[in-house]
Amino acid sequence: MFLNRRKLLSSVAAVAASLAIPSIARAEAEDDTSIWDILAGNKRNKAVGEKNNIDALTIIDTPEPILSFDTAYSVELAINYYQQVVAAGGWEQPTRQTFALANGKTGRAVINLKRHLMLVGDMERKDRVRDDFDDETDLALRKFQVRHGIIPTGKVDEPTFYAMAIPAEQRLAQLQLNAARIQSLAGALEERYLLVNIPAASIETVQGGMVNSRHTAVVGKIDRQTPILSSKVHQVKFNPYWTVPKSIIEKDLIRYMNEDPMYLTNFRIRVFDGNGNEVPPESINWQSLDALNYTFRQDPGGENSMGHCKIDFYNPYDVYLHDTPSKGLFGQNSRFHSSGCVRVEGIDTVASWLLADNGGWDIDGVHAMFATNENVNVPLKFQMPLHTTYITAWANRQGTVSFRDDIYEYDAAGKVSFES
């Protein structure tokens, strides 16, 4: 049985833990001595944390793609190890005392945390385990966090707590299901391809079996999912116009205009009737679905919803990759905010890579085009293969095993193939 974070909350044990979390947080806030002790050690702990973040990220920042034959082999090795862990009884569930553990804390809960981190490979195994949360434990916890796609804080925060609460049996089943997915896809991979892994909300440009660049992404919400498909990128659009899809007009735009009648004006979105004539926003009845009879188009520029770049690939869903003015979303743990399209951090690097066969489009050329705010469409001389995938567990040659939440509940459904 597969549980994602939302399903975990529905279990009795997790509900009890979730109820405990706010009370623990309040208790810390009310303990003036504890707060001042934390503040006194902040400078040192910050320096340690910054170094440990860099070291932690090295375990996942390898040149191996999430999807490849090498990944398939590494996942099989991970399955063998997790079978041993399950056979030995798995790991203990975190308790309310585990929540908010961080550098400088002591107690029995720290011992249990260290044992968990040793068992999953984030900390060197030792026969005797001390009860102090030291710098070594801080590094190990940050490794655990980056493997689970959690922003490394060195503190057992809410997403870390719930990741630790997933039983070993479920992690093993997750690896086995994803091994089948990876095996089914690896044989069809090309020498060059663009990979979007939806559960990780991440993008890789891959060349010669190695990752050329990695990018944080924002993908579709649970109720507006990014489709899973294989296609080809055929065009890069610089400083694009954005035509608002009918679904967004109905679900969002009408509501925005009722909340703020200046919304369209403020975001430079113009309205056109069926004959292509521009009409004023106030001529539309915003208390009805009248807006669906019009075309809404946003001019190029810094506030354009697609930012400075749109990447088109063949698909029947009207989805694409694009830049965004809302860069803050890339820094979140959960990046499922779009209406199905994929927002790309560092899209300038992706665009220059895609246009390599066109010539004359290095990173400086891309930046220069961004700065013009001029709408220019560039067809690719080499149409780049693209795969949007759903991989929630994978591994690399270093033995690092990564997991992500089953956000669309495809693990729960046991789906291996996504062909329609």
Tens of pLDDT, residue by residue over 225-262, are 999 999 999 999 999 999 998 988 999 999 999 999 99
pLDDT band at 333 (very low <50, low <70, confident <90, very high): confident
What the block records as the tokens of 128 is: 């005797």
CA dihedral 28, 29, 30, 33 (to 10 degrees): 70
The whole-chain average pLDDT of the chain stands at 90
In this model, does residue 17 exceed pLDDT 80? no
pLDDT of residue 259: 96
Please give the pLDDT value at position 47: 85
Tokens encoding 16: 């009890």
pLDDT at 4: 54
Helix-then-strand count for the chain, H and E: 14, 15
Residue 331 and residue 153 in contact, taking contact as beta carbons nearer than 8 Å = no
Helix (H) or strand (E) run with residue 321 in it = strand 321-322
> Could you tell me what percent of the chain has a pLDDT over 90?
81
Residues whose CB falls within 8 Å of the CB of residue 271, separated by 6 or more in sequence, listed in order: 264, 278, 279, 280, 281, 284, 294, 295, 296
Confidence of residue 303 (pLDDT cuts 50, 70, 90): confident
Poorest-pLDDT segment among 137-146, 150-159, 220-229, 244-253: 244-253
The mean per-residue pLDDT over the stretch 186-190 comes to 92
Give residue for tokens 């939440």.
405
Confidence of residue 40 (pLDDT cuts 50, 70, 90): low
The residue count for the chain: 420
pLDDT at 46: 85
Does 396 score more than 50 pLDDT? yes
22-39 per-position pLDDT tens digit? 443 443 444 454 555 655
| 416 compared with 302, residue with greater pLDDT | 416
Q: What pLDDT score was predicted for residue 419?
A: 75
Question: What is the per-residue pLDDT for 12?
Answer: 31
Distance CA 46, CA 154 (A): 10
> Do the beta carbons of residue 169 and residue 177 sit within 8 Å?
no
Phi, psi of 385 (to 5 degrees): -60, 140
What whole-number distance in Å separates Cα of residue 235 and Cα of residue 354? 9
pLDDT at 247: 86
pLDDT digits (tens, 9 = 90+) for 45-74: 888 889 999 999 999 999 999 999 999 999
Report the C-alpha gap between 304 and 314 in whole angstroms.
22
| Residue 191 burial (10 A CB sphere; 0-12, 13-18, 19+) | exposed
Q: Which two tokens stand for residue 290?
A: 């009248």
Interval 75-107: pLDDT, tens: 999 999 999 999 999 999 999 999 999 999 999
What residue type is assigned to position 77 of the chain?
L
| Rounded mean pLDDT, 188-210 | 96
